[in-house]
Structure 1
Amino acid sequence: MVVGEVVGNLWSTKKVESLSGARFLLVNVTDKRTDNQPWQTRQIVARDMVGAGFGEQVLVVEGSGARVVDQGTPVPIDATIVGIIDSIDEQ
């Protein structure tokens, strides 16, 4: 899982039937690099399962876990928002 920030909406009127009714959001994810370089931000499209909104920090699952999050038929998804973050306490 990764932490991201919702930065926009994505609309698609034509898509495979298994994605019908799905809501998609643009999410910025910042990855820490291990080579002493600055953190790197990437933008992903994620299916929203929790009603996240613009500017909210979210918990995103990527890969095969993103396809089966709703326990239905697997769908062609690479990332799914599974939670809205209330707070992060780093120590």
Structure 2
Amino acid sequence: MNLGKVIGTVVATRKDERLTGCKLLITQPVDYKYKPFGNPFIAVDTVGAGIGEIVIYTTSGTAARLAARRMEAPIDIAIVGIVDRVDIG
């Protein structure tokens, strides 16, 4: 699992029918200090995240499809949690 920040939304009226009803969010990878790195990507939201929130996402296709409860859908990345805080001991 990884940390990211939701930076936008995607609206696609024409898409694979197996994605109908999925909320798509643009997510920027961040480190544990919430510093951005890498390229943003589109993720399926399974937890009701919003723009500006720090989230936990999975990048394994099978884990992402399981989280979204859509085993036959073309999903590579899913948001699986909203972060309240990160504590490093």
**Same topology, TM > 0.5:** yes
Unaligned 5+ residue runs, structure 2?
A: none
Q: Which amino acid aligns with 2:81?
A: G
Q: Distance in 2 between matches of 1:5 and 1:47?
A: 13
Q: Identity percentage over the alignment?
A: 37
Cα offset, 1:73, TM superposition: 3.0
TM-score by structure 1 length?
0.83
Structure that is richer in strand per residue: 1
Cα offset, 1:16, TM superposition: 1.1
Residue deviations 1:11-68, cap 9 Å, x none?
Answer: 100011110011000000036xxxxxxx733201000011101110000011221122
Q: Distance in 2 between matches of 1:43 and 1:72?
A: 23
Runs (4+) of structure 1 exceeding 6 A deviation are none
Name the count of aligned residue pairs: 85
CA RMSD of aligned residues (A): 1.9
Q: Distance in 1 between matches of 2:44 and 2:79?
A: 6
TM-score by structure 2 length?
0.84
Larger Rg: 1
